Structure 1
Amino acid sequence: MENIMMIIGNVKFSITLDPGVWIFDDRRVDLDTYFDEFKTDSDALEEYTKSISTHWDREIMEGSTFPKTLKTEKKFEKEKVLSGSFGIPFKPFLKNAEPHEQAKEIEISQADGVVVIPIEEAEHLILGFSKNGKPLVEDGPVHVYYQDGSNRSNPLKRVKAFRVL
């Protein structure tokens, strides 16, 4: 239970976060490359449409049987999951909690203190949950990174909860 965190406070719904299951989430990002790539906000429908069209194009060109390359892609993806460092965007969780209109800040409670940031910045946070294929047991359950990577070498650690103020 020490790995479970909450989004509480000035929200319509309190949300429970369990980083142990995020490795299976398609929204996860590779922290080794995420901050080096240029990121723009795109909506989920556009991303879904692109992935479906890629799959459709592949089936048109190669048929519905799986070519050998897909097997090696799956193997590579499995190895990447077992050895990579991953994070997940905070925005979908915050959106599901539905902060009230008067909410202006988020308080990030850590084992050794509190950090308060504007809610607009909080929407762009990345929650790191895995390093080199292992969960963040000693200084976790998550590390909090700013989207621009400015705290990449020194993220917020030992996060216990998120309180919307």
Structure 2
Amino acid sequence: MSSIIMLEGNTKYKITLDPGVWIFDDRRIDLTTYFENGQIDKDELNEYTKAVSRQWDREIQEGAIFPPTLKSEKRFEKEKVLTGTFAIPFRDFLNNAEPNVNAESFVILLQESEITIPLETAYEAILGFSKDGKPLLEDGPVHFYFGDGTNKLEPIKNIIKFIVK
């Protein structure tokens, strides 16, 4: 089974998806809490401003040196990456492929069948790529979850390719 998935079809560009590198992507989300907490559309500029403000406040209060608390936070983040269950929003990949204006549907090609959904539904989807810190080798390389969580217990597995039609 290949660990790379193609996104192609009625698009301006063909995109190669490699879930093996997403663990380092800042867009990754914790799949264990994503559907319970609800999906919140993030304003990236607002989120960045808040993060910079928090760092600024921390440096004002604790000084510009790295106190021991930052070391333990980094260790916690490293442990979380090694043991977490993660997904990534699919919207950015579709936007990068630039579906043509006449594109209406989205096909998920599986090993033994295919599933067709509206293109708008695909924009809201998320792709699970790790479970308990391990890549999805048996039935992966990704699991397809609808954005509303209707298939959170049984995601679409054994995906070979994505095709925009």
TM-score above 0.5: yes
Partner of residue 120, structure 2:
120
- Give the secondary structure class of the aligned counterpart of 1:22: helix
What residue number does 2:63 align with? 63
Other structure's SS at 1:100 match: coil
The CA distance in 1 between the partners of 2:98 and 2:53, in whole Å, is 32
Secondary structure of 1:36 counterpart:
helix
Instruction: Tell me the C-alpha RMSD between the 2 structures.
Output: 1.2
Gaps of 5+ in 2: none
What is the match of residue 162 of structure 1? 162
Give 1:46 shift: 1.9
Between the aligned partners of 1:103 and 1:24, the Cα distance in structure 2 is 31
State the one-letter code of the partner of 1:131.
Answer: K
Secondary structure of the corresponding residue to residue 26 of structure 2: coil
Matches for 1:39-54 after TM superposition, within 5 Å: 39-54=39-54
Match of 1:86 in 2: 86
- Report deviation, 1:147: 1.6
Identity of aligned residues (%): 58
Q: How does 1:94-133 map to 2 (within 5 A)?
A: 94-133=94-133
Distance 1:43 1:16 in 2: 26
1:126-147 Cα shifts (integer Å, max 9, x gaps): 1000001110000000000112
- Counterpart residue number, 2:77: 77
Deviations 1:51-110 (A, max 9, x none): 122212211222111121111111111111111111000000100111111111110111
Once the two structures are superposed, residues 113-161 of structure 1 have per-residue CA deviations (whole angstroms, 9 ceiling, x without a partner) of 1111111111111100000111000000000011222111100001111
Q: Secondary structure at the match of 1:163?
A: strand
Gaps spanning 5+ residues in structure 1: where? none
**Deviation at 1:38?**
2.3
Structure 1 counterpart of 2:33:
33
* Moved segments of 4+, more than 2 Å: none
Q: TM-score, normalised by structure 1?
A: 0.96
Alignment match, 1:16: 16
One-letter identity of the residue aligned with 1:13:
Y
